[in-house]
């Protein structure tokens, strides 16, 4: 019987990623996988008659053999796993990595360099409880794409950012040594598949979606060691591990993208990341490694 999978997106994200979704469906077909593209909004989940349940269009369904979750909802990832449906990425990866505070907390003390980081709110900083001198960077715990990241140089700028964020949970950090530059390392399971250096001359934020540049990057031995230390802490499917640079050009851990975009990898390499990901999933399913 054919392996059956679901590829789940929410509507807005799906619109922007049509080509990527088509690519998934095409490669799945080549590999003999029946992969269905499903919007999260068609799914309900919870408990029925004391049992965990997932409904599609309000109907009960045959469970898929695996799910590729390209939406951020760790509670759903956990529901799948509790129903013994392997989910990529796992609920643990989704829960930790979609929260910048949790990610820093989880990786601290494990020999991975990262900036001094505080978990706070703009309210708290404005009332004078500021563990860092100006200038510093603040960002919401759950922000993506650079939209909720601010450089704050003085009280006036803090007040302006406070208007935006007030009581939202944020992290605060000093400015990294080399602003406007960061490194994304694409990881599949325990393997590093590629690395992309992203830079922006016009902003301290290197996000590609904000108009940054991207180029292929070869990791040094020392950098490989750092990435491998992070890989050891998780059971990843496909993720992007992002780093800032200190003033000596050394890696500082920044964040892990659970629902990682692959555009920069595609334009800087010939790696067929989608095929590799599906093959990785088939391999995991065949060895029954998904629930160890
Ligand atoms: N502490 C910092 N110092 C300097 N630049 C930073 C710092 N934090 C983030 N940046 C820059 O801002 C960009 C976006 O921040 P990031 O933490 O990656 O949030 P997002 O999840 O929105 O991408 C980073 O890629 C980096 O270029
Ligand atoms: Mg980022």
Tens of pLDDT, residues 215-229: 999 999 999 999 999
Ligand 1 centroid vs 248 CA: distance in angstroms?
18
Q: Is the pLDDT at 178 greater than 90, yes or no? A: yes
Q: What is the pLDDT averaged over residues 41-59? A: 98
Q: What is the pLDDT averaged over residues 116-137? A: 97
Please give the tally of structural domains in the chain.
3
Three-state secondary-structure class, residue 267: helix
Q: What is the pLDDT averaged over residues 252-269? A: 97
Supply 189's token pair: 């399971």
287 belongs to a structural domain? no
40 belongs to a structural domain? yes
Single out the residue of 119, 153, 124 nearest to residue 139, CA to CA.
119
17 belongs to a structural domain? yes
Distance CA 230, CA 247 (A): 22
Domain span including residue 247:
178-275
Cβ of 207 below 6 Å from ligand 1: yes
232 belongs to a structural domain? yes
Cβ of 176 below 6 Å from ligand 1: yes
Q: What is the pLDDT averaged over residues 124-146? A: 96
Shared domain check, 127 and 88: no
- The pTM of this model reads 0.97
Give the chain's radius of gyration (CA, Å): 20
Cβ of 87 below 6 Å from ligand 1: no
237 belongs to a structural domain? yes
Q: Is the pLDDT at 292 greater than 90, yes or no? A: no
Whether omega for the bond prior to residue 116 falls within 30 degrees of 0, making it cis, is no
Ligand 2 centroid vs 85 CA: distance in angstroms?
29
Nearest ligand to residue 135 Cα: 1
Shared domain check, 15 and 75: yes
Shared domain check, 85 and 37: yes
């Amino acid at each position: 019987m054919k392996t059956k999978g679901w590829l789940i997106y929410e509507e807005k994200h799906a619109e922007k990623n049509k080509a990527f979704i088509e690519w998934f469906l095409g490669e799945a077909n080549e590999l003999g996988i029946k992969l269905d593209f499903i919007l999260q909004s068609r799914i309900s989940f919870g408990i029925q008659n004391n049992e965990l349940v997932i409904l599609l269009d309000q109907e009960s369904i045959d469970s898929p053999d695996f799910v590729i979750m390209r939406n951020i909802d760790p509670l759903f990832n956990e529901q799948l796993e509790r129903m013994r449906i392997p989910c990529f990425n796992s609920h643990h990866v989704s829960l930790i990595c979609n929260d910048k505070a949790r990610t820093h907390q989880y990786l601290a003390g494990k020999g991975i360099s990262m900036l001094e980081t505080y978990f706070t709110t703009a309210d708290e900083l404005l009332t004078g409880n500021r563990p860092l001198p100006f200038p510093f960077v603040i960002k919401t715990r759950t922000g993506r794409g650079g939209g909720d990241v601010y450089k704050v140089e003085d009280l006036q700028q803090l007040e302006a950012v406070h208007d935006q964020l007030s009581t939202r949970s944020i992290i605060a950090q000093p400015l990294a040594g080399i602003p406007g530059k960061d490194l994304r390392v694409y990881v599949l399971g325990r393997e590093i598949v590629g690395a992309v250096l992203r830079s922006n001359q016009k902003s301290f934020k290197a996000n590609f979606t904000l108009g940054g540049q991207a180029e292929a990057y070869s990791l040094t031995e020392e950098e490989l060691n750092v990435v491998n230390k992070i890989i050891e802490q998780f059971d990843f499917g496909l993720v992007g591990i992002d780093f800032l640079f200190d003033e000596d050009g050394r890696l500082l851990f920044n964040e892990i993208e659970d629902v990682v975009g692959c555009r920069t990898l595609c334009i800087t390499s010939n790696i067929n990341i989608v095929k590799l990901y599906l093959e990785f999933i088939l391999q995991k399913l065949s060895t029954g490694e998904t629930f160890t």
